[in-house]
Structure 1
């Protein structure tokens, strides 16, 4: 996927350069201080570290490309490995170029430098890779600046993976997915959020997880609390880690659904202080019990709803800003279950995202539903999400709104 790999290349390069330059400068400065501020030390130590820094940038760039800079522990390991290998190569080249043979004595000398001058470099680059390097990588890969969580108009989104077309299907037959078109549609979706007053924050890119673009399934937001879900299929359980990191960065309190419970965010419809939770193929009874235990002290009640005709509850119904629940009769098991239910004419029209009290986001595949909602006084923002609909996705699946 062109956009994804482009961002990955840029973020990897800038993260590697940032870590390499700062490591070089910090290591030189440490020896400058240690040698009682002797100016001559700056040039000598800088020359000594030059080749190690060049190789460090190259190695960290490679680690970034393969995803080694996305998490603190992989970045820490990448920094440690990079520091050791780059120092061995850099110091080795300098030593051999100085007329020394690459024999056992020289190799012993190279390793001995790790208890002195090269040891400092390794420690510094290990720490900076896990901090500065990871921060630069994730910020640029995400592509948008964070906004203080106090503003509460943040939408978490996640770029489509290159293998998006391999996403799981439960109720639909598989059809061809145009990933390039999906990228453009995702950009249009994000732009629609931003143009209507939402600041987007991208969850770390997951190129090997085809369903990761459906970020709604990873978190359930209850005010200042983020419930980290547990997917109903093993292949999707790797999606929550980066989402939890983003929620933590926003200062949200973290709760978790634990095994044997399963719960996916697409099964949770919040209407005021009521949480309608789909008992679907993806969310089980234990997951609903755990959510009830988490939600009750926060002032929410949980109502379990059977879901047998679609993947998630919000694939069958959502709520307008006034609390009216909309859905398609063919998808909803029992419309009479809800106090205020409005049938919509198109299956693609069951999912809306409330952008404000009088504006909703809707798939462009549902023009008749758009007309119905406009007749009820709502401003409708239509976006094309056809490629995601082929994968049982909808407009709600593509974001988690923090508000």
Structure 2
């Protein structure tokens, strides 16, 4: 792997359960369809696998309706993994269910013990780790994570998620080590000074939550102008139906933990 910010050998996903209809949502725009969501999830896994990566698919957790959004439970870095402490109380129990899979992949697994922090607020670039304070991530959580990753040689910079935006990565994603896809409202904060920034098209803000995974940029379907912007910048785009996940404030990054294990599982 040449760039650990976006090149990975593995991913971890969790299939949605039927209880997903009870998932958290900031605004009720409808109930997700579990059957359609399962089909879209399978397409997402196929896209990850098409890059040559191994995908570890975990079973649904019916007692945790939001458990398919595995990204919020952990941060995976080349040196190890950090178990998060979600700000949403109903999601805190998901972390214990993710821990065994991560312990099979990493010798060094640490955890946030005091503050609150969710993976959706963390963007790892080629030079630093950006963490957005939000309703789900507080100052104590950021400070704890900063101390952990400093031990592994990483620098962390705290930024702030716009009012009314659930997670920092709701409004941005990494395209390569120095290129960020972002909404204009987030870029206007100055948090990406020094990076190359591509803006999503006006009215297509939901496209900002995409992921760079090996040779692909995997983005939600239905945002043609932003897809053209990414493609014209030289990236290979794959579009996935995200209409049901969007009803639960979920996006492309939420659905996977992307990693290169230090101790690859059997």
The TM-score with structure 1 as length reference comes to 0.59
Aligned CA distance change for structure 1 residues 152 and 373 (closer, same or farther; 3 Å): closer
Q: Does 1:164 align with 2:34?
A: no
Bigger proportion of residues as helix: 1
Q: Match for residue 9 of structure 1?
A: none
Return the alpha-carbon distance in structure 2 between the equivalents of residues 354 and 333 of structure 1.
19
Q: Does 1:249 align with 2:104?
A: yes
Return the alpha-carbon distance in structure 2 between the equivalents of residues 153 and 263 of structure 1.
25
Question: Which has the larger Rg?
Answer: 1
Q: Match for residue 372 of structure 1?
A: 229
Q: Match for residue 185 of structure 1?
A: 40
User: SS of 2:159's equivalent?
Assistant: strand
Q: Match for residue 264 of structure 1?
A: 118
Return the alpha-carbon distance in structure 2 between the equivalents of residues 152 and 317 of structure 1.
20
30, 35, 41: which one pairs with 1:175? 30
Return the alpha-carbon distance in structure 1 between the equivalents of residues 38 and 63 of structure 2.
16
Q: Match for residue 329 of structure 1?
A: 184
Tell me how far 1:198 sits from its aligned partner: 1.7
Offset from partner CA, 1:162-206 (integer Å, 9 cap, x none): 111211122x33412111101111111111111122211023431
Tell me how far 1:333 sits from its aligned partner: 6.9
Q: Match for residue 312 of structure 1?
A: 167
1:151-230 superposed matches below 5 A: 152-170=8-26, 172-230=27-85
CA contact (8 A) 2:171 2:206 kept: no
Return the alpha-carbon distance in structure 2 between the equivalents of residues 301 and 324 of structure 1.
18
1:78-157 superposed matches below 5 A: 152-157=8-13
Return the alpha-carbon distance in structure 2 between the equivalents of residues 221 and 231 of structure 1.
16
Return the alpha-carbon distance in structure 1 between the equivalents of residues 14 and 183 of structure 2.
28
Aligned CA distance change for structure 1 residues 325 and 335 (closer, same or farther; 3 Å): farther
CA contact (8 A) 1:155 1:201 kept: yes
Offset from partner CA, 1:193-221 (integer Å, 9 cap, x none): 11122211023431111100000000101
What stretches of structure 2 of length at least 5 have no aligned partner? 1-6, 261-266
CA contact (8 A) 2:67 2:91 kept: yes
CA contact (8 A) 2:48 2:55 kept: yes
Tell me how far 1:321 sits from its aligned partner: 1.3
Q: Does 1:353 align with 2:211?
A: yes
Tell me how far 1:329 sits from its aligned partner: 1.9
User: SS of 2:230's equivalent?
Assistant: helix
Q: Which has the higher contact order (CA 8 A, sep 6+)?
A: 2
CA contact (8 A) 2:81 2:106 kept: no
Return the alpha-carbon distance in structure 2 between the equivalents of residues 314 and 287 of structure 1.
17
CA contact (8 A) 2:12 2:258 kept: yes
300, 313, 325: which one pairs with 2:154? 300
User: SS of 1:263's equivalent?
Assistant: coil
Aligned CA distance change for structure 1 residues 225 and 251 (closer, same or farther; 3 Å): closer
Return the alpha-carbon distance in structure 1 between the equivalents of residues 230 and 8 of structure 2.
26
Q: Match for residue 289 of structure 1?
A: 143
Return the alpha-carbon distance in structure 2 between the equivalents of residues 291 and 183 of structure 1.
33
Return the alpha-carbon distance in structure 1 between the equivalents of residues 132 and 41 of structure 2.
26
CA contact (8 A) 1:348 1:365 kept: no
The TM-score with structure 2 as length reference comes to 0.89
Corresponding residue pairs, total: 249
Return the alpha-carbon distance in structure 1 between the equivalents of residues 250 and 8 of structure 2.
25
Q: Does 1:381 align with 2:238?
A: yes
Bigger proportion of residues as strand: 2
Tell me how far 1:347 sits from its aligned partner: 1.2
